Amino acid sequence: MGLFDKFKEITRKVSEVESNIYHEKRDYLEIYERNIELEKEIAERTEELNDANKRMFTLQHIWDMMNSSTPLENVLEAIVNSTQGELGYMHCAIIRKYEDEEGEFLRIIAQSNDNLIDRLNNIIGGPGIQTRRLNYSKDSIYADSMRQRTIIQSTSIDISLAGILPDVPKEVIDKVNSNQPVRSIIVIPLIAQKKEFGWFCVFSAREELASAEMDFLGLFAKQIEMAITIADLFQAVREQAVTDSLTGLYNRRYFEESLNKEVQRAKRQKQPFSVVGIDLDFLKKINDTHGHNFGDIAIKAVADVLKANARSVDVAARIGGEEFNVLLPGINSEGAMVAAERIRKSIESLELDTIGKITGSLGVATYFEHSENVDELLELTDQAMYTSKREGRNRVTIAQPVSEGYWQEVAINTFLDILSKNRIPKAKHLSKELCLKLKAPANKDERTKETLYSVADMLTKLYNPVHTPGVTKNKVLMAVSLAKRFDLPKEEIDNLRVAVLLYDIGNLMLPDELLQKATPLTDDERDTIKNHPVIAAREILKPISYVQDVLPIIEHHHENWDGSGYPNKMSKEEIPLTSQIILILDQYFALIEPRPYRSKLSTRDAIEIVKADAGKKWNNTLVDEFISLIEHDIV
């Protein structure tokens, strides 16, 4: 090969190398540019993923709040602040539409805490926008979005603001709209349970709304609607839980909760409050003459009187049957007597179809003046109310601030005598503990009720292991309620209270294997158990002088109305009514507690058994009153 050929060959190879280098350089450049595009795409996707995560985290947080029964206002505040803060909007608010005698209007019920709203409030002056009554126009963006059931975005911030604040001068609206970062308002209609609720409003720094953002805001609105629905359901359940279904008044539980709160407020502010007790007169006569439906009409009529006469801070409640209480915060006895007399006159003025005139007996007691113990205050109210009934009905009686602790002292001293002298061998190991418990409380009011119930429960547990603490208290309260329905005098009611605490104490002298036997009893075993009232009355309690008036109640609490009971085969009016009350309570609570030979019954099943024994174990009137008392508590 000549020199020229060699040069040519070298030139060709150089060209090939240059070509290869060029192509490789171009490939590297393409790879580099592709990498830049990939990095950019990854960054965009990462940002989208972060946004999605934020949105999902926010939704999860809101969902958790909704499922924890958090109040709606707190959920809505969390929604607007999360939307504004975590998702990068300038401001968020939830607006609700209302209507009153002046027409439709808007009100902000939740808004995010941010500089934008602070700036707005500073410029427009006066009350903050959240406290204002805002104008609602049929041709506004709000009306359009609700009518079309769609999300609407508008860049006309000034028009939207002027529409809801027509009284604010245009120059002020222009000042608000100048030099601020908001470029558009997004309005999402809220419809909960097929009812128009309001709007979720988002103020954005962007003029364009991406489809993904639109979808997300729609999803967020659904969460708000669900929160509203859940809150409405919680409110409905709460109202059902604290109101009486017949009258719409508050029930006993709510009244007691309100009373305890009022005690704390009264102590803190050194201000009295009063309780008015009301009992509808002659309800049994109305029921017997016209039927129970008309009795319900009379009860509802009294409830309507209480609603009409109550202040916004008063708490009117149906306590049971025909009994009502009204809590009067900040009212002394003089003011309470005026309020009670107004209620009495309002009831007396009623003229009901078929029934005619009705009346009520009322009692009044005042915290600080009559007692500083809430249980005693209620007891004094009851006593004043039943004094009104005994003295002719249709009148108001004020409580007498006298000591009402005699029956509790009798019960405590009886327990101390029994335990300290070991009259019940089975309780010997507990005697010291229970005696200390009875003597321990620092003041009489504490020890005379809860301590007595607790000691009675502990003794009952010795012969009935499935006994539930608190049952003794329920028995005493129900026994007193029944006794009052028959207008028994205070002395008999006090004796009944003591008897309920002690009537089954004779069981502590019987063998455990007999009381806990799961198989049918023999005749001899049954006779042994039937002896427990006599054991209680004659062997355990008879040596105790100050409990003698209670012994007949205990001894005869297993006598049946038809004469088939024990120990003396007494019948009908021979049996003390207080003994019959204990018998029906004893049977009822035995049925709803488990036994070694059977499981516990439902309240409804227990009531049916009680009904079946009407005219046999107890008289029909007692059964009617008892069932009325029970059914009021389970409605």
Q: Which residues pair with residue 91 across a beta bridge?
A: 203
Give the per-residue pLDDT at 404. Answer: 52
Degrees, nearest 5: CA angle 456-459-464: 110
> For residue 47, what are the contacts with CB-CB under 8 A and spacing of at least 6?
none
Amino acid 634: pLDDT: 43
Q: What is the predicted pLDDT for the residue at 121?
A: 87
- For residue 314, CA distances in Å to 218, 231, 276, 413 come to 43, 25, 11, 40
Distance set, CA 103 to CA 23, 134, 194, 196, 476 (Å): 78, 12, 22, 16, 55
Residue 110: CB atoms within 10 A of its CB come to 23
Q: Which residues pair with 324 in a beta bridge?
A: 278, 318
Least confident of 35-39, 196-200, 331-335, 355-359: 35-39
* pLDDT digit string, tens, across residues 387-427: 898 788 999 999 975 555 678 878 888 888 888 888 877 77
> How far is Cα 230 from Cα 264, in angstroms, rounded to an integer?
32
User: What pLDDT is recorded for position 304?
Assistant: 96
| Angle, CA 508 vertex, CA 502 and CA 514 arms, to 5° | 130
Local confidence band at 479 (pLDDT 50, 70, 90 cut-offs): very high
**Mean pLDDT in residue range 499-507:** 84
Question: Whose CA is closest to 405, among 452, 370, 444?
Answer: 444
Residue 58 to residue 168: CA distance in whole angstroms: 36
- H-helix segments, 270-405: 283-290, 292-309, 333-348, 374-390
User: Which residue has 């940002």 as its token pair?
Assistant: 47
Burial, 60: exposed, middle or buried (Cβ in 10 Å; 0-12, 13-18, 19+)? exposed
Of the listed ranges 140-154, 526-540, 553-567, the one predicted with least confidence: 526-540
**Strand pairing partners for 397?**
363
- Confidence class for position 522, pLDDT limits 50, 70, 90: confident
Distance CA 165, CA 121 (A): 12
Name 240's Cβ contacts closer than 8 Å, sequence gap at least 6: none
Can you tell me the distance from the alpha carbon of 193 to that of 204, in angstroms, rounded to the nearest whole number?
29
| 169 or 26, which is more confident | 169
Q: What torsion do the CA atoms of 453, 458, 462, 464 make, to the nearest 10 degrees?
A: 50
Buried b (16+ CB within 10 A) or exposed e, 591-601: bebeeeeeeeb
The four Cα atoms 288, 292, 294, 298 give a dihedral, to 10 degrees, of 100
Give me the phi and psi of 617, to 5 degrees please.
-85, -35
pLDDT category of residue 286 using cuts at 50, 70 and 90: very high
H/E segment holding residue 356: strand 356-357
State yes or no: pLDDT of 331 exceeds 90: yes
Q: What digits encode the pLDDT tens for the residues 218-271?
A: 777 777 777 777 666 665 555 556 888 899 999 988 899 899 999 999 998 889
Give the residue-averaged pLDDT of 298-322: 93
Task: Report pLDDT for 635.
Answer: 38
Among the ranges given (11-20, 448-457, 537-546), the one the predictor scored with the smallest mean pLDDT: 11-20
By residue count, the chain amounts to 635
pTM > 0.75: yes or no:
no
Is the Cβ–Cβ distance between 340 and 364 less than 8 Å? Answer: yes
Give alpha helix (H) positions in 486-575. 490-502, 512-515, 523-530, 532-534, 551-555
**H-type alpha helices, 310-396:** 333-348, 374-390
Q: What is the pLDDT of residue 339?
A: 96
- pLDDT for 532: 66
Whose CA is closest to 514, among 429, 427, 596, 601? 596
